[in-house]
């Protein structure tokens, strides 16, 4: 596996303590980060861009604002003593309204529109560079919370079969090919046949699609494996793939045998709960050794 671009801290290494701006998306990850900061008494500013649903932040130090107001955002971050920023959770690409731009937004609009036409990693790298140009340090969720990255080995009660392992290897090849063009971080393969790949709609949409694949297209003995991994050369501070108990539920609904993860490169949000969900559903959960860098 390639080293994370930009040289972020190694997996599991704590980020330096300081004021943090958490740009919150949906899902459990930003809530977990915020709760950890509050529990440790560390300063936090939660940033909710317009349209973001993050009700868990009510009562915290929150800045709600439109995406078109970067000048207001940078000013607020400096006023709060923010030195670090983290993007966490799923986010929808904004539709920018030029009439709402502040002066800083006017200066950045051409770059922002170009970035919104890129793949997820390219887009996020570009937006991260804007914050870094303003003097803020980008940090990844895995730097802020210990124990998030999937460990290596079979994590639950069920073992993957030889067919499952072959399907995981095939899916890993598919994900690596997709990631090379900045498209997705997951694929489902059954008996060597790719039943679906992740695109802009995410893993839940992939599993819903797989659940609708007709039986006549499912060949062989394998029920199917969901595999997730970072994109080749991905900046690990931005948008690492993640799973949780809900992913297990959807994989079971899609009729899969289990879930394979690139060990050390996928966030597991609630490891014990995710393992318990896999055991209850009769699915395997496997931290597959990461592929060596080419």
pLDDT per residue over 223-274, tens digit each? 999 999 998 888 888 888 999 999 999 999 999 999 999 999 999 999 999 9
**pLDDT at residue 159 greater than cutoff 90:** yes
Both structure tokens of 205: 């949409």
Cross-sheet strand order for the sheet of 82-88 = 62-65, 44-49, 19-24, 82-88, 137-138
Query: Across the strands, what pairs with 90?
Result: 26
Compare 122 and 147 and report the one with higher pLDDT: 147
Distance between CA atoms of residues 292 and 294, nearest Å: 6
Distance between CA atoms of residues 175 and 210, nearest Å: 16
164 in Cβ contact with 258 (< 8 Å): yes
Quote the DSSP letter at residue 286: E
4 — pLDDT class (breaks 50, 70, 90): very low
**pLDDT at residue 6 greater than cutoff 80:** no
Q: What is the model's pLDDT at position 11?
A: 41
**What average pLDDT does range 132-140 have in this prediction?**
92
Compare 293 and 221 and report the one with higher pLDDT: 221
Q: List the domains of the chain with CATH numbers.
A: 19-144 (3.40.50.20), 153-288 (3.40.140.80)
**Which residue, chain included where needed, has tokens 């809530």?**
31
| pTM for the model | 0.83
126 — pLDDT class (breaks 50, 70, 90): confident
Strands (E), the chain: 19-24, 44-49, 62-65, 82-88, 137-138, 153-154, 186-190, 193-197, 225-228, 242-243, 258-262, 267-268, 284-288
Q: What is the tens place of the pLDDT at every residue in 180-199?
A: 898 889 999 999 999 999 99
Distance between CA atoms of residues 47 and 44, nearest Å: 10
Compare 18 and 46 and report the one with higher pLDDT: 46
Quote the DSSP letter at residue 149: B
Q: What is the model's pLDDT at position 211?
A: 95
Distance between CA atoms of residues 164 and 172, nearest Å: 12
Both structure tokens of 260: 């394979």
* Mean of pLDDT over the chain: 88
Q: What is the model's pLDDT at position 292?
A: 61
Compare 26 and 246 and report the one with higher pLDDT: 246
13 — pLDDT class (breaks 50, 70, 90): very low
Q: What is the tens place of the pLDDT at every residue in 273-292?
A: 999 999 999 999 999 998 76
**What average pLDDT does range 52-73 have in this prediction?**
90
Backbone phi and psi for residue 227, each to the nearest 5 degrees, phi listed first: -120, 135
The secondary structure of 186-231 as a DSSP string is EEEEETTEEEEE--TT-HHHHHHHHHTS-GGG--SS---EEEE-PP
């Amino acid at each position: 596996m390639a080293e994370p671009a930009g040289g972020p801290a190694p997996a599991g290494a704590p980020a330096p303590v300081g004021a943090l701006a958490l740009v919150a998306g949906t899902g459990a990850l930003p809530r977990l980060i915020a709760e950890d900061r509050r529990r440790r008494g560390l300063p936090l500013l939660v940033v909710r861009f317009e349209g973001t649903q993050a009700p868990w932040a009510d009562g915290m130090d929150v800045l709600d604002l439109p995406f078109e107001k970067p000048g207001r955002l940078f000013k607020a971050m400096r006023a709060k003593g923010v030195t670090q920023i983290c993007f966490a959770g799923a986010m929808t690409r904004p539709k920018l309204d030029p009439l709402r731009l502040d002066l800083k937004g006017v200066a950045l609009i051409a770059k922002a529109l170009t970035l919104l036409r890129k793949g997820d990693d390219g887009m996020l790298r570009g937006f991260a560079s804007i914050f870094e140009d303003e003097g803020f340090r980008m940090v990844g969720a895995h730097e802020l919370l210990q124990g998030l990255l999937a460990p290596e080995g079979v994590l639950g009660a069920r073992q993957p079969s030889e067919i499952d392992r072959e399907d995981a290897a095939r899916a890993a090849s598919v994900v690596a090919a997709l990631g090379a063009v900045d498209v997705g971080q997951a694929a489902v393969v059954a008996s060597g046949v790719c039943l679906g790949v992740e695109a802009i709609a995410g893993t839940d949409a992939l599993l819903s699609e797989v659940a609708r694949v007709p039986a006549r297209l499912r060949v062989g003995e394998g029920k199917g494996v969901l595999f997730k991994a970072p994109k080749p050369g991905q900046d690990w501070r931005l948008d690492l793939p993640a799973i949780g108990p809900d992913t297990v539920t959807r994989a079971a609904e899609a009729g899969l045998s289990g879930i394979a993860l690139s060990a050390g490169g996928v966030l597991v949000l609630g490891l014990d709960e995710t393992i318990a969900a896999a055991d209850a559903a009769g699915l395997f959960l496997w931290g597959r050794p990461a592929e060596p860098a080419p």
